[in-house]
């Protein structure tokens, strides 16, 4: 089955700096890679996703890059703000069959003033 590794487990940045979270996956058939943000006591919310036919996707201050050859993908947050503080999860999925999302172990991002 799929295995997703995520690094770092914790990340502290100053407001305005950039944050990068990296994930690797094991199943070369995976073709969908979402990122979720989880605030304290709440369920995860999808913030951005990328499919295997695209190398990069941006949405305002958030971007995701995918390297299929190396089987890794990354989340980039620019101009970080205190409200970006949360736990971020990456995930991988093969959409061709009825399958389940496999999640990374999460990164706790702390944006300090």
Partner 1 sequence: DGGITQSPKYLFRKEGQNVTLSCEQNLNHDAMYWYRQDPGQGLRLIYYSQIVNDFQKGDIAEGYSVSREKKESFPLTVTSAQKNPTAFYLCASKLFAEAFFGQGTRLTVV
Q: How far apart are CA 72 and CA 66, in angstroms?
A: 6
Residue 44 vs 73, nearer CB to partner 1: 44
Q: How far apart are CA 100 and CA 109, in angstroms?
A: 26
The answer to whether 32 and 102 have CB atoms below 8 angstroms apart is no
Residue 89 binds partner 1 (CB under 8 A) = yes
Residue 93 vs 111, nearer CB to partner 1: 93
Collapsing DSSP to helix, strand or coil, 104 comes out as coil
The answer to whether 91 and 48 have CB atoms below 8 angstroms apart is no
Segment 13 to 72, residues that bind partner 1, using CB under 8 A: 32, 34, 36, 41-46, 49, 51
Residue 93 binds partner 1 (CB under 8 A) = yes
Residue 92 binds partner 1 (CB under 8 A) = no
Residue 106 binds partner 1 (CB under 8 A) = yes
């Amino acid at each position: 089955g799929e295995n997703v590794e995520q690094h770092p487990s914790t990340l502290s940045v100053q407001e305005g700096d950039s944050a990068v979270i990296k994930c690797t996956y094991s199943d070369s058939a995976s073709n969908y890679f979402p990122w979720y943000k989880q605030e304290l006591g709440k369920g995860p919310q999808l913030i951005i996703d990328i499919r295997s036919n695209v190398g990069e996707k941006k949405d305002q201050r958030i971007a995701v890059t995918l390297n299929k050859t190396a089987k890794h993908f990354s989340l980039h947050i620019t101009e970080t703000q205190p409200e970006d503080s949360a736990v971020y999860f990456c995930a991988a999925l093969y959409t061709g069959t009825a399958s389940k999302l496999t999640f990374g172990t999460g990164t706790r991002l702390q944006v300090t003033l």
